[in-house]
Amino acid sequence: MTEAKGLKKPVKLKAELSAMLGESELPRTEITKKLWEYIKGNKLQTKTVNGKPENAGKFIVADATLLSIFKNTNSTSKSGKLTDLTNMNEGETIDMMQMAAVVGANIEK
C-alpha cells in the first residue's frame, strides 16, 4: 500500500477542530469537506459581509462552534495576505477563500 501524500496525507488536528469533527487525524481534503458539510448543514452562508445566514453566498457566518476554530487563525499566505481571526465574534463572517488559512491554522505543524 502506498503512503498518502500532499492533501490526501492525514494530518493531526488541533483540539478544537478535533472536538468538532470527532477525529484526531484527517487529510486536508476531508477536513475541508467536513467543514463545508457543517456550514451547509447549519445554513451558515451569506451573500454579504457580516450578513444574516441565508444558506447561500461566499461568506461564512461564525457560530459558536466555528468561532472556536476561526479564532486559531492568524497566518500570512505565500502572497503576503494576513488572515487574523483571533478577535472575531460570533455572527461575523469570513470569505470562503479564507478557509484554507483556517484549515492550515487548525492542524499541528
pLDDT digits (tens, 9 = 90+) for 13-41: 999 999 999 999 999 999 999 999 999 99
Q: Which domain holds residue 101?
A: 10-105
3 part of a folded domain: no
pLDDT the model gives residue 44: 96
Residue 71 resides in a domain: yes
Q: What is the pLDDT of residues 48-80, one digit of tens each?
A: 999 888 888 999 999 999 999 999 999 988 888
Q: Which three cell numbers stand for residue 22?
A: 470527532
C-alpha cell at 7: 492533501
Write the DSSP symbol of residue 55: S
- What's the predicted TM-score (pTM) here? 0.89
Alpha helices in 8-84 (DSSP H): 15-21, 28-41, 64-70
1, part of any domain? no
Does residue 45 fall inside a structural domain? yes
Angle at 37 between CA 33 and CA 40, to 5 degrees: 130
Is the residue at 92 inside a domain?
A: yes
Per the structure, how many domains does the chain have? 1
Residue 27 domain flag: yes
In this model, does residue 104 exceed pLDDT 90? yes
Structural domain contains residue 2? no
For residues 86-103, give the mean pLDDT.
Answer: 94
